[in-house]
């Protein structure tokens, strides 16, 4: 009894001491550990196991409340109502024996109330600071309602656009992906874990999920060791280096070992090699799924193997396998108390660092102000503008001149759809303030033009998404064949009668995202037909794309004069698109993936190996070019840029040395605009074959007309290190290196240097 009191006193005084600096500075490691040790010293085994469970609930219910009050749950996810969050937190803090607060998790993927462009769009900005700002706003909004843990960033490299979750990541490239990973971690977490208005970030899905066979979501991934180390893992490692506080284990089988039961991934790589000291949560029901995978015999064994692999907390829809299996496993000696305590330490440490013991409750009075902050909407619009990629602009059709077109047809099923302006993983938006492309154009043009809208076609998934229930998607009754023809005709007639058509095509918000893979990259439904009919109407056409993956634009890329890729551009998306089209801002985004000509070219990532017949088209497909439609890194501007004077600071270095590469970039065109200088490297020979080129530096710069800037890149040991399948280790080879710098991955400005022995 006396011992208990002393410990409780110690605990309270730590909490009280914490209060003084709760929001101002990170807690020291010693303080955190001392606090956690004191707690652990008082916890029963049941309470220790309870902390390892995270329940997936959409609302509270009697059963959940009972578990919370009994201290049987460490975390809840998917509760977003601040009143419910507060009620549950009060239960945890006031009713559970040791008053341990819950940590509330949620999928804060690209915004909370303010919905930013989808992650693939943010990556297309090639502007890490934009990512940081965006995720800082998302964190602030989420935290304001009491959510302290974001299940983002998603860091899965995606080289197969059939895979729907490509929309959630940064595309095909590990270097760009790593830069965006670190930037997002900084945005979510701030300068340190526990920084005011920030949350715990969770890198996911560890690891290899993007390589699902056939692009089919959840299917197994088979990834060679070299690809794993050189391509799929680097963004995760970058996030760890940036201090990410948690990781989510992936669903799928990785080389026949499910990621959630994969000790090599979760312990050898993550903990031992990288020194990650945060917590690992499983993906939803992924521990229980070890049984479905044909990996664990039953739930009991699933719990044991997940814990042994390195999962600290289990996310599950109903009772967790941890909750059901770990107590018995402890008794039978299959696991040790120390293992449970290790997982507890990581979870409790995160709660301490986040300040949840001192400030378990959100300040209800602040919520409306934070969620309604107009500065967040402005920043979102800027993000949408900076994410857009101009794919084509024949004869300078863009920017459109205000007043030059008296009547404008806005055509397409996505042109005036609010949900489809936002994309997947948006649930907390205010649809009434979401600006569609049609609405954005109306407010941009005012009375200066007559705008009319026609959807033209209706598009739909063959198999509906389970997200429909969560994001309030309703499916309008399908059009009859006759109605389809009438709507098509209406749209084409409108285009023919107008001075200009802005055609908005792509995919519905639920055609990309989780469980949203497809076998084709064609424009869905009759969109291609609509496109061809509208072009045949003979008036100028601008194509605006809303989508999260490359679609087949082979026909459009030769016949539609202007194409703007605007992704799912978010809350202010329509305003951003209108401002881009009318030249208030100049597009400067670049593709974060290679855009295939057709689905049959997949995978077509630019960083493929050199091979025995490097440039020989005749030895590849005989029915199509082996180049992509648009290369990785590609994006036009309303202005033009010239790259020149590529130079290296040294032509010969030893393996330990670095050198500088400098290039001059000049704006030779009409207007102030941004260009992204991109550096690509190629190792000519070495212990293993290396890709034909790899991105190793980039910088987005703004230039006034006729202005010239020098951009300098450092090529150090890190940029030349790779995992060699020949030596089965990380190597830095002596070799000759090619360097290209330019505006995309097909850059031709070249120099080289040598690394001696």
Cβ pair 246, 74 in contact under 8 A: no
Cα separation, 40 vs 413, in Å, equals: 57
Contacting positions for ligand BGC (CB under 6 A): 107, 151, 204, 283-284, 514
Tokens 């809208």: give the residue: 453
For residue 637, how far is the Cα from the chain centroid? 25
Compare residues 514 and 694 and give the one whose CB is closer to ligand BGC: 514
Cα separation, 292 vs 261, in Å, equals: 12
In three-state secondary structure terms, 186 is: helix
| Backbone φ/ψ region at 310: left (φ over 0), alpha (ψ -120 to 50), beta | left
Compare residues 151 and 722 and give the one whose CB is closer to ligand BGC: 151
Cα separation, 31 vs 316, in Å, equals: 31
Specify the DSSP class assigned to residue 154: B
Q: Give min distance, CB of 456 to ligand BGC, in A.
A: 34
Per the residue annotation, which of 217, 283, 416, 744 is the catalytic one? 283
Q: Which two tokens stand for residue 506?
A: 């792509």
Compare residues 77 and 755 and give the one whose CB is closer to ligand BGC: 77
Compare residues 216 and 402 and give the one whose CB is closer to ligand BGC: 216
Beta bridge partners, 408, equal 451, 500
In three-state secondary structure terms, 334 is: coil
Query: In this structure, is the dihedral angle defined by the CA atoms of residues 268, 269, 272 and 276, taken in order, positive or negative?
Result: negative
- What is the DSSP annotation of 581-618? HTTSS------SS-B-SSGGG-S--S--B--SSTT-GG
Q: Give min distance, CB of 251 to ligand BGC, in A.
A: 6
Q: Report which secondary-structure segment, H or E, holds 75.
A: strand 75-77
Compare residues 204 and 693 and give the one whose CB is closer to ligand BGC: 204
Compare residues 151 and 698 and give the one whose CB is closer to ligand BGC: 151
Q: Which residue is nearest to ligand BGC (CB)?
A: 151
Compare residues 49 and 284 and give the one whose CB is closer to ligand BGC: 284
- 256 classed as catalytic: no
Cis-peptide into 205, omega within 30 deg: yes
Compare residues 245 and 628 and give the one whose CB is closer to ligand BGC: 245
Q: Give min distance, CB of 283 to ligand BGC, in A.
A: 5
Q: Give min distance, CB of 256 to ligand BGC, in A.
A: 20
Cα separation, 88 vs 58, in Å, equals: 13
Cβ pair 158, 210 in contact under 8 A: yes
Compare residues 168 and 439 and give the one whose CB is closer to ligand BGC: 168
Q: Give min distance, CB of 110 to ligand BGC, in A.
A: 13
Q: Give min distance, CB of 205 to ligand BGC, in A.
A: 6
Q: How many angstroms separate the Cα of 365 from the Cα of each of 102, 362, 371?
A: 21, 9, 11
Tokens 């009697």: give the residue: 62
Helix axes 321-331, 337-353, angle to 10 degrees: 140
Long-range contacts of 615-622 (CB under 8 A, 24+ apart): none
Q: Give min distance, CB of 209 to ligand BGC, in A.
A: 8
Q: Give min distance, CB of 490 to ligand BGC, in A.
A: 40
Q: Give min distance, CB of 133 to ligand BGC, in A.
A: 23
Cα separation, 571 vs 435, in Å, equals: 6
Compare residues 229 and 253 and give the one whose CB is closer to ligand BGC: 253
Cβ pair 225, 723 in contact under 8 A: yes
- What is the DSSP annotation of 119-143? HHHHHHTT-HHHHHHHHHHHHHHHH
| Nearest residue to 692 (alpha-carbon basis) of 613, 580, 608 | 608
Specify the DSSP class assigned to residue 268: I
Cβ pair 592, 675 in contact under 8 A: no
Q: Give min distance, CB of 104 to ligand BGC, in A.
A: 13
In three-state secondary structure terms, 696 is: strand
Cα separation, 499 vs 5, in Å, equals: 81
Q: Give min distance, CB of 76 to ligand BGC, in A.
A: 12
Compare residues 122 and 755 and give the one whose CB is closer to ligand BGC: 122
| Nearest residue to 236 (alpha-carbon basis) of 212, 603, 228, 136 | 228
CA-only gyration radius of the chain, Å: 27
Order of strands, sheet of 652-653, starting from the edge strand that comes earlier in the sequence: 652-653, 750-755, 735-742, 673-683, 694-703
Cα separation, 589 vs 386, in Å, equals: 6
Helix axes 299-309, 337-353, angle to 10 degrees: 60
Compare residues 204 and 351 and give the one whose CB is closer to ligand BGC: 204
Q: Give min distance, CB of 130 to ligand BGC, in A.
A: 23
Cβ pair 205, 248 in contact under 8 A: yes
Cα separation, 540 vs 534, in Å, equals: 9
Compare residues 18 and 423 and give the one whose CB is closer to ligand BGC: 423
Q: Give min distance, CB of 452 to ligand BGC, in A.
A: 40
Catalytically annotated residues: 283
């Amino acid at each position: 009894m006396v011992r208990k009191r002393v410990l409780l006193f110690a605990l309270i005084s730590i909490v009280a001491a914490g209060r003084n600096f709760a929001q101002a500075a990170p807690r020291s490691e010693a303080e955190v550990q001392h606090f956690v040790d004191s707690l652990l010293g008082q916890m029963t085994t049941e309470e220790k196991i309870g902390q390892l469970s995270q329940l997936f609930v959409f609302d509270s219910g009697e059963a959940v409340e009972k578990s919370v009050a009994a201290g049987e749950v460490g975390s809840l996810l998917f509760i977003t109502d601040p009143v419910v969050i507060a009620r549950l937190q009060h239960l945890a803090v006031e009713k559970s024996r040791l008053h341990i607060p819950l940590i509330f998790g949620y999928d804060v993927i690209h915004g909370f109330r303010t919905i930013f462009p989808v992650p693939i769009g943010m990556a297309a900005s090639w502007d890490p600071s934009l990512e940081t700002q965006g995720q800082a706003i998302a964190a602030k909004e989420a935290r304001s309602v009491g959510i302290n843990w974001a299940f983002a960033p998603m860091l899965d490299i995606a080289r197969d656009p059939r895979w729907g979750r490509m929309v959630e990541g940064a595309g095909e490239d590990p270097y760009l992906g790593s830069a965006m990973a670190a930037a997002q971690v900084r945005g979510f977490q701030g300068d340190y874990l526990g920084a005011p208005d920030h949350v715990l970030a969770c890198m996911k899905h560890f690891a290899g999920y993007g390589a699902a066979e056939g692009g089919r979501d959840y299917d197994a991934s088979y990834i060679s060791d070299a690809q794993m180390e050189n391509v799929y893992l680097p963004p995760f490692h970058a996030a760890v280096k940036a201090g990410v506080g948690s990781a989510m284990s992936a669903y799928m089988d990785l080389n026949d070992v499910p990621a959630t039961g994969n000790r090599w991934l979760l312990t050898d790589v993550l903990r031992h090699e990288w020194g990650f000291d945060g917590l690992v949560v499983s993906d939803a029901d992924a521990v229980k799924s070890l049984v479905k995978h044909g990996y664990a015999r039953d739930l009991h064994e699933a719990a044991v193997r997940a814990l042994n692999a390195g999962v600290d907390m289990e996310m599950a829809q109903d009772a967790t396998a941890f909750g059901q299996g770990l107590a018995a496993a402890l008794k039978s000696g299959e696991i040790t108390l120390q293992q449970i305590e290790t997982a507890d330490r990581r979870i409790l440490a995160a709660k301490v660092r986040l300040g949840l013991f001192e400030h378990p409750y959100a300040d209800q009075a602040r919520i409306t102000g934070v969620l309604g902050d107009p500065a967040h909407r402005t920043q979102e619009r800027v993000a949408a503008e900076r994410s857009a990629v101009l794919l084509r602009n024949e004869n300078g059709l863009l920017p459109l001149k205000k007043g030059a077109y008296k009547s404008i047809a806005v055509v397409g099923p996505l042109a005036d759809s609010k949900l489809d302006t936002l994309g997947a993983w948006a649930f907390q938006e205010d649809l009434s303030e979401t600006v569609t492309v049609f609405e954005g154009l109306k407010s941009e043009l005012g009375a200066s033009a007559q705008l009319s809208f026609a959807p033209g076609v209706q598009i739909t998934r063959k198999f509906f998404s389970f997200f429909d229930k969560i994001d309030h998607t309703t499916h309008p009754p399908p059009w009859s064949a006759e109605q389809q023809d009438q709507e098509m005709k209406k749209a084409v007639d409108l285009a023919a009668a107008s001075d200009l058509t802005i055609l908005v095509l792509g995919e519905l918000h639920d055609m990309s995202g989780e469980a949203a893979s497809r076998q084709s990259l064609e424009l869905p439904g009759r969109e291609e037909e609509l496109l061809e009919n509208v072009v045949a109407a003979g008036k100028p056409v601008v194509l605006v794309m809303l989508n999260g993956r490359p679609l087949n634009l082979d026909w459009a890329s030769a016949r539609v004069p202007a194409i703007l890729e605007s992704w799912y551009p978010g809350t202010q998306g329509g305003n951003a698109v209108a401002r881009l089209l009318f030249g208030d801002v100049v597009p400067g985004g670049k593709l974060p993936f290679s855009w295939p000509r057709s689905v049959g070219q997949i995978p077509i990532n630019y960083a493929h190996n050199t091979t025995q017949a490097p440039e020989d088209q005749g030895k590849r497909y005989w029915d199509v070019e082996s180049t992509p439609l648009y290369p990785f890194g590609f994006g036009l501007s309303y202005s033009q840029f010239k790259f020149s004077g590529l130079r290296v600071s040294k032509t010969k270095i030893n393996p330990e040395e670095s050198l500088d590469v400098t290039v001059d970039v000049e704006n030779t065109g009409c207007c102030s605009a941004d260009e992204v200088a991109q550096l690509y490297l190629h190792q000519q020979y070495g212990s293993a074959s290396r890709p034909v080129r790899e991105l190793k530096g980039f910088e987005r710069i703004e230039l006034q007309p006729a202005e010239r800037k020098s951009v300098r890149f450092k090529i150090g040991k890190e940029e030349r290190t790779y995992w060699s399948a020949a030596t089965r280790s990380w190597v830095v080879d002596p070799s000759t290196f090619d360097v290209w710098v330019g505006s995309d991955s097909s850059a031709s400005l070249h120099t080289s240097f040598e690394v001696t022995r």
